[in-house]
Amino acid sequence: MNLVRAFQSIVRHHAPFPAIRDDHRSFTWREFAERVQRAAGMLAKAGVGPGDRFAILSRNGFRVEELKWGGHWLGAVPVPVNFRLAPTEIAPILDDAQCAHLFVENPFLALFEHPALAARRAGVIAFGNASGADASAYEAALAEADPVAAADPDPDSDALLLYTGGTTGRSKGVRLSHTNILTNAAAFGLGVGARRDQVYLHAAPMFHSADLLAMGWFLQGATQCYLPLFSPTAFLETIRRHRVGAVVTVPTMLIGTITDPAFAGADLSSLRVLIYGAAPMAAEWILRVAEAFPSVDLLNCYGLTETAPDLTIFNASEFRAVIAKARATGERGGPLTSVGKPNILNELKVVDGQGRERGVGEVGELIARGPNITKGYLGLPEETAKALRGGWLYTGDIARIDEAGYVYLLDRAKDLIITGGENVYSSEVEGVLARHPAVQEAVIIGVPDPRLGETIMAVIVLRAGATASEDELTRHCRQSLGGYKIPRRYAFVEALPKSALGKVLKNTLRQTYAGA
């Protein structure tokens, strides 16, 4: 099975039902399929052929969806690009992917005036706005394009090229096959209970692997709608207007939403499934989010771009029971801080530095295998060989798995702090600091120290109107942490540097404070 055949099957089963819902227009699955075939014809007319890679630089919207599916229909490979990147960061991605054609949403055309991208202007195809009515040239080109016959790509051929965030250096192009995407979609959709009668909202950026989780609903024939850019007000209004039933978010979205004044009067009566992932959420915030959405199935998940993207799911009923127990007992550890259990198609285990499996509850690197694992990185054989060994993906995440099968992420291997010969996992310290009533966000990093090698530094965002001193936070930490885990330095900031999906850029913080 490939994505083209899967799409044809979806259309056969759900042709008269709504596929796309936008503020300005909507399409049934039959109508959307016609647009996808014309989008494939438009790509072919522009010079894109089977196996070619083409870039999309845009906010979320249904036109991004039909360009991606038009690429699949043609047998080409879409390359969504993060529009928040600087021109000097976009250029190496386009060079690496060898994209001769770039579909660019109008607001980002000015990027190609920069010297780093000026030579690419000849390949730029403007398509108005990703959503809404302002795309007359695109719509005219679509109407003039002749539909093309469906390709039948090899299921193991590249279907999508996604670039990692590059938070520690060069972005890597992750090659995801038709099999990778479809198997993960099937497993994830089953795990979260995706249904056709749930309108799915694309709130996570469509250039990010998190958007692939929408495939769980896509395969069910569910209606898709789109949030061009996240803000709490726009998020809440889109849920109300389009009667959204399911959405995948990240912790920063949820925290921003429930603390926004607009939340108090929001109509969330349609929402049934609320999923978060991509970054950890402190126990206190999990409880606050669960309280804010009492009639919604709240789920947690974890994965990587390299896994298309899901590896674990915290089942809604189990998560609900764990949350209830935490409220009743005051316990803030245990499964509440886990990312759930492996999805049905993945095997996970924890290994030591020599690749030997660790015992139950023991700490090591998390490795994974399954049909959703990438074939590797484009043009990077050494990086691919390092990540893929013996049929397993080495995730670079430090973790443990308990006797019940719950997976606990302790840190990224690169973020592990070694201070005075002791290992300190930032997630543990961050969780303790997050319990302080004045703390909105807390991030732990290691900074150079001539005596200890590294010393622990806390970068803190306080809640609006709250105050807390370094001494107060240190006393708070001493109640729950051993002495070597307690931060020795603090920085209080208005906001933390984050990626497009809300992940804190710890490398940026380390660079900022290394010599301070």
Picking from 169, 202, 87, the residue whose alpha carbon sits closest to that of residue 501 is 202
Q: What is the pTM of this model?
A: 0.89
Give the H/E segment covering residue 233: helix 232-242
d(C-alpha 319, C-alpha 328), whole Å: 14
Picking from 499, 472, 497, the residue whose alpha carbon sits closest to that of residue 487 is 472
Cβ atoms 229, 131 nearer than 8 A: no
pLDDT (0 to 100) of residue 499: 85
Query: How far, in whole angstroms, is CA 77 from its chain's centroid?
Result: 20
Q: Contacts from 43-46 at CB under 8 Å and sequence distance 24+?
A: 43/67, 43/70, 43/71, 43/74, 43/76, 43/101, 44/74, 44/145, 44/148, 45/145, 45/146, 46/101, 46/125
d(C-alpha 490, C-alpha 177), whole Å: 45
Under the banding of pLDDT at 50, 70 and 90, the label for residue 378 is very high
417-468 tens-digit pLDDT: 989 878 898 888 999 999 999 999 999 999 998 888 889 999 999 999 999 9
Cβ atoms 311, 303 nearer than 8 A: yes
180-208 tens-digit pLDDT: 999 999 999 999 999 999 999 999 999 99
Under the banding of pLDDT at 50, 70 and 90, the label for residue 167 is very low
Rounded alpha-carbon distances, angstroms, from residue 355 to 348, 402, 415: 13, 19, 20
d(C-alpha 10, C-alpha 32), whole Å: 11
pLDDT (0 to 100) of residue 168: 47
Helices (H) and strands (E) in the chain, counts: 15, 26
Cβ atoms 486, 474 nearer than 8 A: yes
Domain boundaries of the chain, sorted by first residue: 3-335, 339-412, 416-513
Question: 339-412 belongs to which CATH class?
Answer: mainly beta
Q: Which residues pair with 303 in a beta bridge?
A: 310
CA count, 13 A, side-chain hemisphere, 229: 6
Tokens at residue 396, please? 């670079």
Measure the CA angle with vertex 46, ends 41 and 48; round to 5°. 80
The length of the chain, given as a count of residues: 516
d(C-alpha 304, C-alpha 219), whole Å: 21
Helices 283-292 + 316-329 axis angle, to 10: 110
pLDDT at 345 over 70: yes
81-131 tens-digit pLDDT: 999 888 988 999 999 999 999 999 999 999 999 999 999 999 999 988 766
pLDDT at 169 over 60: no
d(C-alpha 472, C-alpha 461), whole Å: 15
Rounded alpha-carbon distances, angstroms, from residue 491 to 93, 213, 441, 471, 507: 34, 36, 12, 13, 15
Tokens at residue 437, please? 């009533």
Q: Domain 3-335 carries which CATH code? A: 3.40.50.12780
Tokens at residue 464, please? 């609006």
Cβ atoms 387, 376 nearer than 8 A: yes
For residue 278, which phi and psi values (nearest 5 degrees)? 80, -25
Percent of the chain past pLDDT 90, that is, above it, reads 81
pLDDT (0 to 100) of residue 359: 96
Q: Which CATH number fits domain 416-513: 3.30.870.10, 3.30.300.30, 3.40.50.2000, 3.30.420.480?
A: 3.30.300.30
Under the banding of pLDDT at 50, 70 and 90, the label for residue 507 is confident
Cβ atoms < 10 Å from Cβ of 236: 19
> Burial of 483 by CB count in 10 Å (0-12 exposed, 13-18 middle, 19+ buried)?
exposed
CA-CA-CA-CA torsion sign (233, 234, 239, 240): positive
Tokens at residue 505, please? 């850029």
For residue 348, which phi and psi values (nearest 5 degrees)? -125, 145
Tokens at residue 290, please? 């669960």
Give the H/E segment covering residue 441: strand 439-449
pLDDT (0 to 100) of residue 41: 98
